[in-house]
Chains A and B, each alone.
Chain A
Amino acid sequence: MAAGCRFVAGYPITPSTEVVERISKRFPVMGGTFIQMEDELASMAAVVGAAWTGTKVMTVTSGPGFSLMMENIGLGAMMETPCVVVNVQRGGPSTGLPTMVGQADMMQARWGSHGDYRLIAIAPQSPQEAFDLTIDAFNLSETYRVPVMFMMDECVGHMTEKVVIPPADEIEIVPRVLTDKKPGEYLPYATNGWPVPENVRAGDGYRFHTTGLTHDEKGYPVMSAEVQEINVNRIIDKITDNADKIIRIEEEQIDDAEVVVVAYGITARVARMGIDLARAKGVKVGFMRLVVVWPFPEARIAELAERVKGFVVPEINLGQMVLEVERCAAGKATTTLVGHAGGGVHDPQTICDAIVEAAR
């Protein structure tokens, strides 16, 4: 709401329901619209449709709903529609552990919809970040005209902690900047220098056309390998070429580190205790927290791989982001998964043990 979101479509799913319950109470007094749709397919479609009015939009779900949203997340990527999708992750697959924590949708956030595309995913570690980073998520979705996946987990989602909400005038909001070109001059998917097209919205007389089909600058479907090449490369390049601006990591005690723990979300907090235990044993271990998870900090992992012995990746899944770490380390440092199938967080001792082993 502080980010300017005024339209939410959602469908109830544990453990995310508190978000839509709060929004349904607040929106009527602040000029926003919440609608509980018939399913998550509809929620995501409604969100993409609503975004084309210039309104800032969001939906909220968990794993099973996230799966249903994939179809129209792809539409959002192809139509280049700013929107935020919150996934409060629970244990999977299928219905899994509805009330208990998981982090097993991280690869789905990156690859879940069919075809080639890129989007942005963020993983908060605290209620404060759930506030702060949601604003960033909206801002990034505006800047790059892309769906942003807000990858909470059940622990962070249900956590009670102090949250400082700054005064409204201290919150930086990236507004929807509409084109100043005139109807007739404006091409919905033309770019000029900056790889993101200018925005337009329905109802302003532009008579524009947009489609999930491969399209040219006019937004008209063109079924050819040549236009496909241009279209798909541009929606990928706008993220990869700006990855340095989007990527956000936090590093602790990394300078002398022989082992680096890479973690995100609730597991980042658990990992710190594992790190403290290992440091107490004299192991030189550093920490990298992924704040923005996608795009992934490839270059930084590759750089660290040149000088550390190994990476330890605890996550509440049986091996997802660890694959990225391993890929970027490219055999120059060991990579160890500390997996957890979900339903709880790690015992910090298991992380400590993995660190000690990696330092050997």
Chain B
Amino acid sequence: MSTPARTKSMDEHPIAPYLRMDRIPHIWCPTCGIGTVVKCFASALEEADLDLDKVSIVSGIGCTGRSAGYMNLDAFHSTHGRAIPFATGLKLARPELEVVVFSGDGDLSGIGGNHFIHAARRNMDLLVILVNNFIYGMTGGQNAPTTPVTAKSSTMPFGNFERPFNLPHLAASCGASFVSRWTSLHIRRLTKCMRMAMRRKGFRFIEVIAPCSTLYARLNRLGSGLELMRFYHDNATIKHNIDTREVDIGYQDTIVCGNFVDEERPTFLEAKDDHYQTIMGDRYVPMSPEGGWLHE
């Protein structure tokens, strides 16, 4: 059980101590899935055995990019697409931190796609939670690198013809040590997956499919929030350890969920320390876990 910043009182929400309650209400639309993912994350934090003083959260820009700002952690709302490199600097300069990146599909796989693949390649010690709503929400429903073919967006008004990313496969093929996908309907499984990922090391990637009823669902006439949840219920299938080549998402098609990759392989920091120790022996001075400034 992690120690929250404060203890909760009987009349408040169980996860209130994990949130910045002075920033609630949040900006998200009714039926948006991001709040649910934040709730799952807060629950996972509560159950995880972490010193929350040592957990930092970094977001980029966009609807999901606001998530860091609602968490009662050291929180960084960085620039569009740069949450991963920002988090990389934070982690490497104070290695004892657990650094979580929490952002959207457009942010992390569009403008930040290059950083995503390189952080996965390095097996950088980051937990990356990507909320995929198939669209750029904050700016008004424009096409994303995740928009399924034939789905309409405000910049593909006649339907999208660009092939979208299969993000779990992208992460896995680049070398991420933990890769999974859930939807915002899978509250219990997603929370458990997040908790599990908090116990793993290296680049841990969780894609969460979440509804955007204001834009994506409206442009595509997919119905209300409840109907979107019903769609997930009827069309999500759980296949743990499946080959990530098989988890593409088609328009209104099956959403394959599960924990696809869970392998132990050297993280960036482990590889760095091992390598320099082998080459230099005692001459190697690793970065202090507390950061580089205390020892001057």
A interface with B by C-beta (< 8 Å): 4, 6-7, 9, 28-33, 35, 37-39, 41-43, 45-57, 71-72, 74-75, 173, 175-176, 183, 201-213, 218, 220-221
Contacts and interface: CB of A to CB of B under 8 A. Distances in A.
B276 A28 contact: yes
A52 B76 CA distance: 10
A15 B294 CA distance: 33
Contacts of A75: 78-79, 82
A57 B280 contact: no
Contacts of A42: 82, 84-85, 88, 114-115, 118
Contact of A32 (B56, B89, B280, B292): B292
A49 B78 contact: yes
A49 B86 CA distance: 4
A207 B293 contact: no
Top 8 nearest A-B pairs (CB, nearest first) are: A6-B292, A49-B89, A46-B89, A50-B89, A50-B93, A211-B77, A53-B94, A42-B85
Given A55-B292, A211-B69, A72 B79 contact: yes
B292 A35 contact: no
A329 B54 CA distance: 54
A95 to B, nearest CB: 20
Given A7-B92, A49-B85, A220 B69 contact: yes
Interface string B278-294: 00100111111011111
Contacts of A212: 77-79
B53 A204 contact: yes
Contacts of B287: 6-7, 31-33
A342 B283 CA distance: 43
Nearest to A221: B69
A175 B32 CA distance: 45
Contacts of A55: 93-94, 291-293
Given A7-B92, A41-B115, A54-B291, 19 more contacts: A4-B296, A9-B88, A29-B284, A31-B286, A37-B118, A38-B118, A45-B85, A46-B85, A46-B86, A46-B92, A48-B86, A49-B86, A50-B92, A57-B89, A203-B96, A207-B53, A207-B73, A209-B20, A210-B77
B74 interface: yes
B290 to A, nearest CB: 8
B111 to A, nearest CB: 9
Contact of B97 (A28, A30, A53): A53
B90 interface: yes
Contacts of B294: 54
Contacts of A38: 85, 114-115, 118
Contact of B85 (A37, A173, A209, A210): A37
Contact of B296 (A9, A173, A209, A220): A173
B206 interface: no
Contacts of A210: 75-77
A28 B78 contact: no
Interface residue tally on B, bucketed by range: 35 or more
Interface in B247-296: 276, 280, 283-288, 290-296
10 contacts: A28-B276, A32-B287, A42-B85, A49-B76, A49-B85, A52-B74, A72-B86, A204-B53, A207-B72, A209-B76
Contacts of A46: 85-86, 88-89, 92
A213 B76 CA distance: 11
B194 to A, nearest CB: 19
Contact of A28 (B90, B93, B94, B284): B284
Contacts of A183: 5
Interface string B185-205: 000000000000000000000
A45 B79 contact: yes
Report which residue of B53, B89, B280, B286 has the largest number of chain A beta carbons within 10 angstroms of its beta carbon: B89
A139 to B, nearest CB: 13
A49 B82 CA distance: 10
A57 B93 contact: yes
Contacts of A48: 78, 86, 89
Interface string B70-110: 00111111110110111111101110110000000000000
A202 B293 contact: no
A301 B294 CA distance: 42
A52 B115 CA distance: 20
A33 B92 contact: yes
A109 to B, nearest CB: 19
Contacts of B13: none
A45 B60 CA distance: 11
Contacts of B82: 41-42, 45, 71-72, 75
B23 interface: yes
Contact of B87 (A6, A49, A57, A209): A49
Contacts of B93: 6-7, 33, 49-51, 53, 55, 57
